[in-house]
Structure 1
Amino acid sequence: MLPRHFFIVISLSFLVQSLPKVHLTLVNRKHSFYVVNLQDASIESSDNSSSEAENLTTSKPVTDNLSVVNITEHNDHDPTVSATSLSLEAGKNFTRSLMCYYNIPRLNDRPYAVFPEALNVSLCTHLVVCCAKVVNLTLQPNDLNDIQFYSRIVRLKQVNPKLKILLSLESINDDTGQSFVQMISTNSTRQRFLQSAINTLNQHGFDGIEVSWRFPCFEGPIEQRQLFVDFLHEFRDYINSNHNGSSMLLTAAVSARKEIIDIAYHDIPALARYLDYISLMSYDYHKFAWDTPLLGPNSPLFHMKNEIAMLRTLNVQWSANYWYQNGMPASKIIVGIPSYGRSYTLMNRKNHDYYDLAKGLGVTGDKGYVTFPEICEFLMRPNVTKVYNNVTAELYAYEGAEWISFENEQSSKAKASWILRSGFGGVALKDLNSDDAYRQCTKPNRTGPHISFPIARAIYESLYS
């Protein structure tokens, strides 16, 4: 049994050992930046792994009314995990995927619900529909009203005939996850579930399923990690035997954090045999918590120069390469890019750099989760300062005590370009609903052409242009 406190103790031990050095380096880091104006920076590609971070950004004059700065930080990337040092089996002609995650709308969605007909699925190769759960060893919708959306979602194939639509199975949708744990615990319970799952997928016209277990043996016995492998093995066999080796897809959403990867996924080569893809949850590396009340980027591309110890693993590059190095083919690694942001409340309004103190979640959003329209509206405030960091390939903005880490077209292009150059399988956009941006944040008539999905479009252009 490995309780959640186990990981807190490990994190705190790293932090305590490193506190003197952390304080010194973070103070010094504030003087390592130079500031230039920036608006809609272009992306420069480079085959030189030693200058990967430096070549992500160029600068142009400011053309909006925001106070905007560009923070450029030179980095000392470990060449053993640099983008161009991977011996990629897929080569340059691999198939690139853009997996768009779509949450079935609820009446209380913020700021507005996004219905299936409003989605621009021409930007996506896959659409992953959230969510389903385990009920009495069967696959059931998370909400009874979800079923009425299934046919509307599947009809999107008329717009994009090549679109693959998957249903996401979440382990935590029953609040405790016990129904999922019960289902996966024995061969007989798994077989009963598999029959139900295949029938449901066929009935509604889905092309596959994504399994999202958060996380094997994280709050359960160590045996759960082998149960996860067994479950996927049997799922793959069941698909092959009932579909004659058809194109029904089996994927899994997996952690991007080292302390979870090492414990939850002990046999990554086996996962590679049974899964078509993994969707790497390379986001939420930093969000406010009582035990880590520090500002941080939600989905940093690279580690920053003075990050030390465990902090150096909290970035997209490290996570994707770690999965590859441990046996997952690069072509099967779909790297997550979030379209949402994370908000904090500053402890001191004058201290707004990464790793400065926060005293709580931000006011903007829902429990720190901020959708793109909410970010857009925040940026329209008169005294907002927006900062882009070319190493994290991410932005943050602040006004008063409110601080938000977020993505835009520029940052998502930087990440997608790196994913493309590195030879990974593509991008998992989390979530398409949150990328629901409207022209100049206007609220009236928020339907049809007013929906632009700028992050999805920026990623698409980076992957396929």
Structure 2
Amino acid sequence: MTYDYHGHWEAYTGHNSPLYRSSVDSGSHIHHNINSSVAHWLALGAPVEKLLLGFPTYGRTYRLSSAADSLGAPANGPADAGPYTRTSGFWAYYEICHFIGSATIEWISEQEVPYATYGSSWVGFDDKRSYSSKVQWMNANNLGGAHVWTLDMDDFGGYFCSDGPYPLINHLRMSMGNKVSQSVSVRVCKNINTEVNSN
């Protein structure tokens, strides 16, 4: 699970699934990122080929509490629940696609992930660019493959993101060298995670 590193339970904005630490991280938060988590498992002796990198198809939201809107900006709880998931604190990727139509999108270069703001709403999420960065990192570190949480939070019908069905998952498959078909062929694990082997 290389996601849920940050969320509305914190008093400052932070990205859900950053690849690396940021300059605003301090204390134990310096380890709330993919690079640090995987390094920890490897240091404990986990076989690298058994580690699968988690790719979220959702983002974590915040309600900004000042005019600041960058990473590490003061926040007070979650943004409004999404119209479909109806759960405070996160939006499915298809809800994010609707939001970013009117939002300002920024790239966190030191963490290789995007966030978007509109009014007092802030969401840290993944897109094709961040997926590509994570696949490159995963391959460079010889991990066993990838898993996705979760199928139904990608734009499964292709109606919201103007990019066809399953835009994130299909991009992940292509980035890993797999062909994309109309139906996403995946193996669903017991916990509903989707495993996409790199072999």
Asked if Structure 1 and Structure 2 have the same fold, meaning a TM-score greater than 0.5 normalized by the shorter chain, the answer is yes
Match status 1:285 vs 2:2: no
Match status 1:363 vs 2:83: no
Number of the residue aligned with 2:182 = none
Match status 1:412 vs 2:127: no
Structure with higher helix content: 1
Compared CA separation, residues 398 and 364, structure 1 to 2 (3 A): farther
Q: Distance in 2 between matches of 1:429 and 1:392?
A: 19
Match status 1:329 vs 2:47: yes
Residue 422 of structure 1, aligned match among 133, 136, 141: 141
Match status 1:305 vs 2:23: yes
Match status 1:436 vs 2:149: no
* Greater RCO (Cα-Cα under 8 Å, separation 6 or more): 2
Compared CA separation, residues 407 and 308, structure 1 to 2 (3 A): same
Q: Distance in 1 between matches of 2:157 and 2:59?
A: 17
The Cα shift of 1:437 comes to: 4.9
The Cα shift of 1:390 comes to: 2.3
Code of the aligned partner of 1:378 = F
Question: For 1:306-351, what per-residue CA distance to the aligned partner results, in whole angstroms no more than 9, with x for missing partners?
Answer: 5333121010011011101101100000111111011111101x21
Whether the 8 Å contact between 2:97 and 2:161 is mirrored in structure 1 is: no
Residue 403 of structure 1, aligned match among 107, 115, 122: 122
Code of the aligned partner of 1:356 = A
**Partner of 1:404: helix, strand, or coil?**
strand
Question: For 1:350-395, what per-residue CA distance to the aligned partner results, in whole angstroms no more than 9, with x for missing partners?
Answer: 21111111111111421112111111111122xx100111222211
Question: For 1:268-297, what per-residue CA distance to the aligned partner results, in whole angstroms no more than 9, with x for missing partners?
Answer: xxxxxxxxxxxxx111100011xx311000
**Partner of 2:98: helix, strand, or coil?**
helix
* Structure number, greater radius of gyration: 1
**Partner of 1:433: helix, strand, or coil?**
helix
Question: For 1:178-221, what per-residue CA distance to the aligned partner results, in whole angstroms no more than 9, with x for missing partners?
Answer: xxxxxxxxxxxxxxxxxxxxxxxxxxxxxxxxxxxxxxxxxxxx
Number of the residue aligned with 1:462 = 175
The Cα shift of 1:442 comes to: 7.5
Residue 57 of structure 2, aligned match among 320, 339, 348: 339
Whether the 8 Å contact between 1:372 and 1:437 is mirrored in structure 2 is: no
Q: Distance in 1 between matches of 2:140 and 2:131?
A: 14
Q: Distance in 2 between matches of 1:319 and 1:439?
A: 33
User: How many aligned positions are there?
Assistant: 174
Question: For 1:103-125, what per-residue CA distance to the aligned partner results, in whole angstroms no more than 9, with x for missing partners?
Answer: xxxxxxxxxxxxxxxxxxxxxxx
Whether the 8 Å contact between 1:373 and 1:438 is mirrored in structure 2 is: no
Match status 1:388 vs 2:101: no
The Cα shift of 1:305 comes to: 3.4
Q: If the length of structure 1 is used for normalisation, what is the TM-score?
A: 0.36
Code of the aligned partner of 2:174 = E
**Partner of 1:343: helix, strand, or coil?**
strand
Sequence identity (%): 27
Number of the residue aligned with 1:148 = none
Number of the residue aligned with 2:36 = 318
Q: Could you say what the CA RMSD is over the residues aligned between the two structures, in angstroms?
A: 1.9
Code of the aligned partner of 1:295 = T
Q: Distance in 1 between matches of 2:40 and 2:161?
A: 42
Q: If the length of structure 2 is used for normalisation, what is the TM-score?
A: 0.81
Code of the aligned partner of 2:75 = A
The Cα shift of 1:432 comes to: 1.3
**Partner of 1:367: helix, strand, or coil?**
coil
Q: Distance in 1 between matches of 2:172 and 2:150?
A: 13
Runs of 4+ in 1 over 3 A off after TM superposition: 437-440
The Cα shift of 1:451 comes to: 5.0
Code of the aligned partner of 1:456 = I
Question: For 1:44-97, what per-residue CA distance to the aligned partner results, in whole angstroms no more than 9, with x for missing partners?
Answer: xxxxxxxxxxxxxxxxxxxxxxxxxxxxxxxxxxxxxxxxxxxxxxxxxxxxxx
Compared CA separation, residues 458 and 303, structure 1 to 2 (3 A): same
Q: Distance in 1 between matches of 2:166 and 2:65?
A: 33
Residue 453 of structure 1, aligned match among 166, 183, 186: 166
Compared CA separation, residues 442 and 296, structure 1 to 2 (3 A): closer
**Partner of 2:55: helix, strand, or coil?**
strand
